[in-house]
Amino acid sequence: MILVLQQNATNAQIEALQAQMHARGLITQDITGEHTHMMGLAGDVSGVDADTLLRSEVIERVIKVSEPYKLAGRRFHPGDTAISVGGATVGGGSLAVMAGPCSVESEEQILSIARDVKNAGASFLRGGAFKPRSSPYSFQGLGLDGLELLKTASEKTGLPVVTEIMSQAHLADFEREVDVIQIGARNMQNFPLLRDVGALGKPVLIKRGASASIDELLMAADYVLMGGKSPVILCERGIRTFETATRNTLDISAVPVLKEKSHLPVIVDPSHGTGHWRLVEPMAMAAVAAGCDGLMIEVHGSPETALCDGQQSVTPALFHRLMGRVKEIHALLHGKEGENYAG
Ligand code: PEP
Ligand code: MN
């Protein structure tokens, strides 16, 4: 629900209205346009009666929001959101590339890949310490030791770190050690985890569940945003379809759909999206051409010996070439760094 406020509403009146809504357990969002002042209401608005609200002299009009997500939607936040973290920015016309191995395997491995991806122009280091493996017999990640190694690599290269959390038991560790907290596809609908991560105040990257619709992804984002502290980055990483030629079907159309529906930055992961290293570069280019704000790419120094996802990991040399190509495509759409020619 959106309340359009009277032009002459005073700050005191608006604050009183806000307090009234908070007392009903609702979340309010200030939506200020050039000539309009509006207040978005999220939460259980079933008990809020529009006619009763209109009796208030502060409220001019009540608009019902039909979308099932609110805080992630453009109705509540018309302008694009850009998120700055550790000297890097996601959204706002830049191209943020998060690159690194599927899993942290050793200090030597993560340091060497971190240096490689930084030299190639990546702005974040990715790497899994807690791995959501389908088989309980597969390598499960280095856990807390992995987080320490990521931190060391971050300190040595200056790259902020993005890595996946799987359990509430590690909230404090992630709060301390990590720059962007990743919610993996398998946990996209782990609602208690989403809420708790949203209370930390760190940027959260949410990957689309393999069987999740776009609206479900945006509702997951609302779970995090409800905490009022943590900004969200959305990630398309492929969905399950009948097609078996690729590991998942990368839904490139999700990029313009998400950009239309949501103000949040959208990145694409062509590594998990395809499952094949040869397909990573063409799909990265397609994603950038479709208007995404960034990419997540798995890179490994020797993919044939990787402990996880070697088949979809590109070598540092290929990553370097990919970066050159995606930057060219991005420049075609957005102009040079800092200029935005996109329509
Ligand atoms: C990952 O990024 O390492 C990962 C496991 O991805 P997803 O959750 O998309 O499968
Ligand atoms: Mn992986």
Alpha helices in 121-183 (DSSP H): 144-157, 171-177
* For ligand 1, mutation pick of 162, 164, 208 (most atoms within 8 Å of CB): 164
Instruction: State the chain's mean pLDDT as an integer.
Output: 95
In terms of C-beta distances under 8 Å and separation of at least 24 residues, what long-range contacts does 51-59 make, across chains too?
A: 53/3, 56/17, 57/6, 57/13, 58/5, 58/6, 58/9, 58/13, 58/14, 58/17, 59/3, 59/4, 59/5, 59/6, 59/17
Q: Which token pair is 208?
A: 């689309």
Measured by CA distance, the residue closest to atom 10 of ligand 1 is 185
pLDDT at 343 over 60: no
Number of alpha carbons in the 13 Å side-chain half-sphere of residue 186: 10
The single-letter DSSP state of residue 303 is: G
pLDDT at 63 over 90: yes
Mean pLDDT of 179-201: 98
Closest ligand 1 atom to residue 128 Cα is 3
Determine whether 310 is exposed, middle or buried from the number of CB atoms within 10 Å of its CB (0-12, 13-18, 19+). middle
What's the pLDDT tens digit per position in 93-150? 999 999 999 999 999 999 999 999 999 999 999 999 999 999 999 999 999 999 999 9
Question: How remote is the CA of residue 102 from the centroid of ligand 2, in Å?
Answer: 4
SS3 232: strand
* For ligand 1, mutation pick of 269, 271, 311 (most atoms within 8 Å of CB): 269
Question: How remote is the CA of residue 89 from the centroid of ligand 2, in Å?
Answer: 23
Residue 248 pLDDT: 98
pLDDT at 34 over 90: no
Residue 336 pLDDT: 63
Which residues pair with residue 85 across a beta bridge? 88
Question: How remote is the CA of residue 128 from the centroid of ligand 2, in Å?
Answer: 8
The single-letter DSSP state of residue 343 is: -
Which listed ligand is nearest to 238 at the C-alpha? 1
Closest ligand 1 atom to residue 309 Cα is 3
Residue 136 backbone phi and psi in degrees, to 5 = -70, -10
% of the chain at pLDDT higher than 90 = 94
Which listed ligand is nearest to 237 at the C-alpha? 1
Which listed ligand is nearest to 250 at the C-alpha? 1
% of the chain at pLDDT higher than 70 = 98
Residue 33 pLDDT: 79
* For ligand 1, mutation pick of 110, 150, 182, 240 (most atoms within 8 Å of CB): 182
Cβ 341 vs Cβ 334: under 8 Å: yes
Closest ligand 1 atom to residue 187 Cα is 8
Closest ligand 1 atom to residue 296 Cα is 2
Which listed ligand is nearest to 134 at the C-alpha? 1
Residue 46 pLDDT: 87
Which residues pair with residue 204 across a beta bridge? 181, 232
pLDDT at 14 over 90: yes
Q: Which residues line ligand 1 (CB under 6 A)?
A: 102, 128, 132, 164, 184-186, 207, 237, 272
Residue 342 pLDDT: 43
Mean pLDDT of 174-203: 98
Mean pLDDT of 200-228: 97
Residue 36 pLDDT: 84
Mean pLDDT of 192-217: 98
Mean pLDDT of 330-335: 92
Q: Which token pair is 49?
A: 């009666």
Q: Which amino acid is at 53?
A: L
159-173, 199-213, 326-340: lowest mean pLDDT where?
326-340
- pLDDT tier at 153, thresholds 50, 70, 90: very high
Question: How remote is the CA of residue 30 from the centroid of ligand 2, in Å?
Answer: 39
Q: Tell me the whole-structure pTM to 2 decimals.
A: 0.95
Cβ 25 vs Cβ 46: under 8 Å: no
Residue 61 pLDDT: 95
